[in-house]
Amino acid sequence: MPTIDEVKCEPDVVRLLLIEDDEDDALIAKSLLSEIRGIKFDVDWVSSYEGIPTHIAQSQYHICLLDYYLGSCTGLDVLGEALQYGCQIPIIMMTGTADREIDQKAIMLGAADYVIKGEVNSQLLERVIRHARERKKAETERAELHAKLIETSRQLGMADIAINVLHNVGNVLNSINVSAGLIANLLQKAHVGEISKISDMLKTHADNLGAFLTEDSKGKFVPQFLEELGKDLSSRVSQTLVETNTLLSKVDHVRRIIDAQQDIARPGGLQEPVRLEELTDQALMINREDINHHNIEVVQEYEVLPQVILDKHQILQILVNLIRNAKHAMIDKEGNSHCLTLRILRRVHQVSQLEVQVSDTGIGISSENLTKIFAQGFTTKAKGHGIGLHSSALAAKNCGGALHVSSNGEGCGATFTLILPEKVLEVPG
């Protein structure tokens, strides 16, 4: 059996699988194929149904001619099964008589075309084979293009998130800088050098320390000075401790943002047990610095739910996008006190679904924009890319869920709802 590459290297040779239980009919088909000019066929003939569907699906044929009457089963059975096994090559059905019903069924099932044995000549067969192959090629190219577009959107979505993460890390680093500056200032201005000066002074007057501390014009101030120095140093130490703790928690914040980014940036597709509240908190944490900075209140209303099986990478990506957009919408509506509400709930219609809602009190969305909000490239921001919601909607669909939006109009805030299927962990026993 040649490899795919070998098959591709020989464009003029068409590898054809002929499935025909009647030896005479097989000979006729082979003879018709040999009469076709300009194409050389390499024909494999099989006469029994045994193992054929998997064989067609796994082999490197370019095309298959399939007889309808195959003794114990029909060509429709073989066709259906081959397609179930993931058969990619065009299959042309050959029927003994003109039977519209069989022909229609074959096409509906996924056959590329059909020919009637008694009526087919080499020209007709050539045309049917050529058209079937051309259609298959166009179909494959379309599918590849579609897959590429989806992958490009996913990559763009991740790049967009990476920019957001860097922006947020930058903000936290700024406040780390502020804390570090405060600590440096507190230590620089601590009068530690005065302690050794006093110690030198005391050493010089070691012989008459009592008189020095009570009668000398400088010595008299030593006890009071030491008391004030002590107070100043202990206040500086406690302020330094507070600032150091702030600094440590900011460093930890940066580490957690980077951890979350690593979860987002790894390839998707891994289904694992996750807690939605943990993912929601993680997405909030990435944007937390900005949210605090703009005095936005955060309300978290989480229903207690079991762990669910989901692609953590995709869910995080969606939630980071929704929280970031909500934050921008609120920052852009000045003069208000703002609130970001995050809700996690379970809804039971026919099936049980989980919802994560991200609601804001921001600039809202006009009814006109509501209809185009998930389109790639749609943005109303000067520095926007219009990638976030498009890639989020695709990711939600990928997870078997959906992303919805509602808003009462401009100035009235917005709510985005991520709907997810509830796939829970199977508990053994």
Q: From the centroid of its chain, how far is CA 292?
A: 27
Token readout for 176 is 């780390």
Token readout for 160 is 């967009």
The alpha-helical segments, DSSP class H, found in 59-121 are: 75-84, 100-109
CB of 375 to ligand ADP, least distance (A): 9
From the list ligand ADP, Mg ion, none, pick the one residue 360 interacts with, judged by a Cβ distance below 5 to 8 Å according to partner type: ligand ADP
From the list ligand ADP, Mg ion, none, pick the one residue 386 interacts with, judged by a Cβ distance below 5 to 8 Å according to partner type: ligand ADP
Please report which helix (H) or strand (E) contains residue 66, including its range: strand 63-67
Token readout for 37 is 């000019």
Q: From the centroid of its chain, how far is CA 385?
A: 17
CB of 368 to Mg ion, least distance (A): 19
CB of 186 to ligand ADP, least distance (A): 41
CB distance 15 to 61 below 8 Å:
yes
From the list Mg ion, ligand ADP, none, pick the one residue 326 interacts with, judged by a Cβ distance below 5 to 8 Å according to partner type: ligand ADP
What one-character-per-residue DSSP string does 335-364 give? TS--EEEEEEEEEESSSEEEEEEEEE-SS-
Contacting residue, 74, 287, 314, 325, with ligand ADP by CB under 6 A: 325
Contacting residue, 64, 76, 111, 373, with ligand ADP by CB under 6 A: 373
Is 404 a residue that touches ligand ADP (CB under 6 A)? no
Nearest residue (CB) to Mg ion, 276 versus 326 = 326
Residues with Cβ < 8 Å from 77, sequence gap 6 or more?
A: 49, 70
Is 365 a residue that touches ligand ADP (CB under 6 A)? yes
Rounded-to-10 torsion of CA 163, 169, 170, 174:
170
Contacting residue, 257, 414, 418, 420, with ligand ADP by CB under 6 A: 414
Nearest residue (CB) to ligand ADP, 30 versus 385 = 385
Q: What distance in Å separates the CA atoms of residue 394 and residue 398, rounded to the nearest whole number? A: 6
- First-last CA distance in the chain: 47
Q: What distance in Å separates the CA atoms of residue 124 and residue 144, rounded to the nearest whole number? A: 30
Nearest residue (CB) to ligand ADP, 354 versus 393 = 393
From the list Mg ion, ligand ADP, none, pick the one residue 53 interacts with, judged by a Cβ distance below 5 to 8 Å according to partner type: none
Nearest residue (CB) to Mg ion, 313 versus 390 = 390
**Interaction site with Mg ion (CB under 5 A):** 325, 388
CB of 346 to ligand ADP, least distance (A): 24
Is 333 a residue that touches ligand ADP (CB under 6 A)? no
Is 394 a residue that touches ligand ADP (CB under 6 A)? no
Interaction site with ligand ADP (CB under 6 A)? 321, 325-326, 329, 360, 362-365, 373, 378-381, 384-390, 414
